């Protein structure tokens, strides 16, 4: 064959990825991680094309039928995906909901787990809910029950009856439009809002839990009642597991146990524990993924074999239990991906056929993206599939290449390294750091947590029948040890490197090294060990260059931070690791309200927080030069002033900040080719052409970085 079945699947997948991202780019900006996906798809198509030509020259009689079929299927599914993405975006944007900013009573069905979050030292319950209808507080619509749809994120203080998954509630509040403006170095939330149909959010307010029959004035569809019963069953099972954990585990470990079995519950775990798991690179274990499904399959298979049940039925039992578990913990991308791959493996064994993991992963990704093309932009989808591809591509080659370590140390170390090889640019983009502690955590903590997960699975089921307090004590000791060791690793400053988002050039060079490493380890069968070591050193050198910031030597960057309550920008010198933070606070908004976004912006350049200095300014104030160097300046400019205009002519690059929307056209006419940032925090934009080349609506659209 000129092309293998695995290559066919990956070519089709590449076509779908390119179509999805191209369709999305016609409406919104593509950030760095999307361009990495595009690069990977194009390179794979070229690589497969070259391999096919080589095979054809070596074996001329080979048929081209499979290549033609691959091209036709890839183009067909690509066109379907392009249409799908455009239709979903147009539906989301074109149907702006009438209830946004309308105060009233909103009827919801809670269709997600209810979790705790802490905001300004107050505990709130947060959940996603399906909107059923509303009764607006409006004189012209008094007592009118209006049917509505869409999903709304609700964050509310729990004061009366506790809220559970599957409850129907009425919330008194005002839905606010979601703030979805993109920023380089942050997680893009727009694609998730489009995927889930999230239209708005409600913060605070009052609520009451009601029976679904009291909502009949909204003329609910018949399926809503059945859907609520399903949610109640799932919610009850989750509550049973949570109750068991709280009964048998200590206060320090109970929510860690819940998170290991059900995923999520980050608010209950607390910021410190989450930060520590993030810094040690094992936060993925707190969300259900492939390791949980693999452990579940292993438990079922082992029990069945001990009971002398045939392997065929053991595999069927594993499939049934993994599907049930997938439904229980929620149908997120990592869970469904690992479940489908487990099912592929089990079915291949049952049918007596060979299982190719890469082919199964490609088919799984195709099914995902055909159902929901926006998943290619989702961070959990990218990290889940990227880590799995890394394991499949580099796991065994690295295990054979590393010969100096004992297997008990080498196995978890190779798993950690191979899972992260393809994801380092993604990790630096989203989280901005690399952690050496992840290597130690993979050897010490991860095996202990895997043992804890297996014991938690078993004890949860057995405890429903008989009490086994002694075993729960052992689990509690294991989790306590893991928390203790993890905290010490995370708090070691030596193990944590804040590198920031790497440039596109370094990203391409890094993936070039990864490609050479794969070709050398796999295609050359471990020959030329010296060359392999050279490639590894090149990859490490690229990361070191990114950490040093030497590419930005003698350069200053202006980075815009879009925020809902105020506007801010950074003047950053990455090579010197210093920055100035300018915050526009026309109404004396506390800086704390902007702290999270500002901190993320600094970390995206690898700037320590202690090296940043904050300065307030007012975009509504008089003409003021905020920053100036030999060739550039940034200034507030709200009036036509001859002296200022003359000064601007002497400077090569000037960025103007104004709050006078009615003067924007005049400013642009007077100062051609100078970027104008229109800053109207918490205000309306008027008299502004959003498509103007040099005019940017600050906080309302993506603004690229400027080099000063």
Q: Is 235 a domain residue?
A: no
Q: Is 233 a domain residue?
A: no
Of 173, 204, 220, the last residue of a domain is: 220
Contact (Cβ atoms closer than 8 angstroms) between residue 379 and residue 37: no
- For residues 108 and 89, membership in a common domain is answered with no
Q: Quick one: CA torsion of 222, 226, 231, 237, rounded to 10 degrees? A: 170
Q: What are phi and psi of 537, to 5 degrees?
A: -65, -35
pLDDT value at position 672?
63
The Cα 84–Cα 372 span in angstroms is: 9
For 250, 269, 405, 604, 670, the CA distances from 273, given in Å and listed in that order, are: 15, 6, 31, 22, 54
Tokens of 133: 């209808």
pLDDT value at position 523?
60
The residues facing 656 across adjacent strands are 635, 676
- For residues 158 and 62, membership in a common domain is answered with no
Contact (Cβ atoms closer than 8 angstroms) between residue 51 and residue 10: no
Orientation of helix 437-463 relative to helix 469-490, angle to 10°: 160
- For residues 493 and 508, membership in a common domain is answered with no
Q: Quick one: CA torsion of 442, 448, 449, 452, rounded to 10 degrees? A: 170
Q: What are phi and psi of 150, to 5 degrees?
A: 105, 170
Of 498, 518, 539, the last residue of a domain is: 498
Q: Is 316 a domain residue?
A: yes
- For residues 172 and 111, membership in a common domain is answered with yes
- For residues 599 and 565, membership in a common domain is answered with yes
Q: What are phi and psi of 153, to 5 degrees?
A: -85, 125
- For residues 369 and 251, membership in a common domain is answered with yes
The residues facing 701 across adjacent strands are 698
pTM: 0.87
The residues facing 561 across adjacent strands are 568
Of 520, 547, 574, the last residue of a domain is: 547
pLDDT value at position 444?
87
- For residues 357 and 327, membership in a common domain is answered with yes
Look at the chain and report how many structural domains it folds into. 5
**Ranges under pLDDT 70 in the chain:** 1, 59-63, 95-96, 354-355, 523-532, 586-594, 639-652, 661-673, 680-694
Tokens of 163: 């809220």
**Side-chain half-sphere CA neighbours of 93 within 13 A:** 12
Q: Is 227 a domain residue?
A: no
Tokens of 362: 């490609």
pLDDT value at position 682?
47
Tokens of 352: 């007596």
- For residues 465 and 380, membership in a common domain is answered with yes
Q: Is 195 a domain residue?
A: yes
Q: Is 323 a domain residue?
A: yes
Q: Is 113 a domain residue?
A: yes
Containing structural domain, residue 700? 557-707
- For residues 203 and 303, membership in a common domain is answered with no
- What's the farthest any 2 CA atoms get from each other in the chain? 92
- For residues 209 and 269, membership in a common domain is answered with no
Which H or E element spans position 573?
strand 567-573
* 3-class secondary-structure state, position 660: coil
Q: Give the list of residues 6+ apart from residue 682 with CB closer than 8 angstroms, or none.
A: 565, 566, 587
pLDDT value at position 646?
43
- For residues 18 and 137, membership in a common domain is answered with no
Tokens of 315: 């595999």
Q: Is 314 a domain residue?
A: yes
- For residues 478 and 373, membership in a common domain is answered with yes
């Amino acid at each position: 064959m000129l092309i293998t079945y695995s290559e066919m699947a990956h070519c089709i997948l590449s076509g779908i990825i390119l179509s999805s991202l191209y369709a999305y780019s016609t409406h919104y900006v593509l950030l760095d991680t999307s361009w990495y996906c595009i690069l990977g798809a194009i390179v794979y198509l070229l690589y497969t094309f070259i391999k096919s030509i080589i095979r054809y020259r070596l074996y001329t009689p080979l048929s081209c039928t499979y290549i033609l079929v691959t091209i036709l299927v890839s183009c067909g599914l690509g066109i379907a995906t392009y249409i799908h993405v455009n239709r979903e975006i147009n539906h989301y944007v074109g149907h702006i909901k009438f209830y946004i900013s309308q105060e009233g009573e909103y009827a919801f069905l809670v269709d997600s787990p209810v979790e705790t979050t802490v905001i300004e030292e107050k505990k709130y319950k947060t959940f996603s809910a399906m909107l059923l209808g509303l009764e607006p507080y409006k004189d012209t619509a008094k007592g009118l029950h209006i049917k509505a749809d869409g999903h709304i994120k609700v964050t509310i203080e729990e004061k009366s009856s506790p809220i559970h998954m599957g409850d129907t509630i009425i919330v008194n509040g005002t839905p606010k439009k979601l703030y979805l403006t993109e920023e380089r170095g942050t997680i893009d939330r727009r694609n998730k809002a489009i995927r889930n149909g999230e239209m708005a959010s409600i913060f605070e307010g009052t609520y009451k839990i009601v029976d679904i029959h009291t909502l009949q004035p909204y003329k609910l569809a018949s399926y809503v009642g059945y859907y609520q019963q399903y949610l109640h069953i799932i919610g009850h099972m989750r509550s049973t597991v949570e109750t068991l954990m709280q009964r048998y585990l200590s206060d320090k470990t109970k929510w860690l146990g819940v998170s290991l079995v059900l995923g999520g519950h980050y608010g209950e775990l607390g910021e410190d524990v989450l930060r520590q798991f993030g810094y040690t690179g094992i936060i993925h274990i707190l969300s259900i993924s492939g390791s949980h499904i693999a452990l579940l399959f292993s438990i079922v298979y082992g029990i069945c074999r001990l009971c002398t049940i045939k392997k065929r039925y053991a595999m069927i039992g594993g499939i049934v239990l993994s599907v049930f578990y997938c439904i229980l913990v929620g149908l997120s991308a990592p869970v469904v991906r690992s479940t489908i791959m487990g099912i592929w493996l089990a079915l291949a064994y049952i049918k007596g056929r060979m299982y190719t993991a890469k082919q199964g992963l490609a088919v799984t990704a195709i099914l995902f993206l055909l159902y929901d093309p926006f998943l290619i932009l989702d961070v959990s989808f990218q990290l889940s599939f990227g880590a799995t591809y890394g394991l499949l591509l580099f796991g065994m080659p690295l295990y054979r290449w590393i010969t100096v370590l004992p297997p008990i140390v080498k196995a978890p170390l190779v798993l950690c390294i191979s899972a992260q090889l393809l994801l380092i640019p993604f990790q630096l983009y989203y989280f901005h750091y690399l952690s050496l502690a992840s290597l130690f955590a993979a050897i010490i903590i991860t095996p202990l947590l895997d043992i804890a997960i297996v014991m938690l699975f078993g004890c949860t089921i057995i405890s429903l029948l008989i009490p086994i307090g002694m075993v729960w004590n052992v689990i509690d000791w294991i989790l306590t040890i893991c928390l203790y060791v993890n905290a010490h690793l995370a708090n070691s400053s030596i193990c944590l490197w804040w590198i920031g988002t790497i440039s596109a050039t370094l990203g391409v060079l890094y993936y070039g090294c990864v490609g050479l490493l794969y070709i050398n380890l796999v295609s050359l069968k471990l020959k030329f060990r010296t060359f392999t070591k050279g490639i590894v050193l090149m990859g490490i050198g690229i990361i070191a260059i990114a950490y040093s910031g030497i590419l930005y030597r003698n350069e200053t960057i202006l980075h815009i931070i879009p925020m809902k309550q105020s506007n801010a920008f950074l003047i950053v010198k990455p090579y010197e690791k210093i920055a100035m933070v300018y915050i526009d606070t026309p109404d004396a908004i506390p800086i704390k309200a902007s702290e999270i976004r500002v901190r993320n912006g600094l970390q995206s350049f690898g700037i320590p927080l202690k090296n940043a200095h904050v300065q307030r300014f007012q975009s509504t104030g008089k003409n003021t030069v905020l920053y100036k160097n030999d060739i550039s300046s940034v200034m507030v400019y709200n009036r036509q002033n001859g002296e200022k205009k003359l000064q601007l002519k002497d400077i090569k690059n000037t960025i103007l900040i104004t709050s006078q929307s009615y003067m924007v056209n005049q400013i642009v006419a007077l100062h051609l080719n100078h970027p104008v940032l229109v800053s109207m925090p918490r205000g309306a934009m008027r008299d502004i052409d959003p498509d103007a080349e040099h005019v940017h609506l600050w906080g309302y659209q993506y603004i690229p970085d400027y080099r000063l």
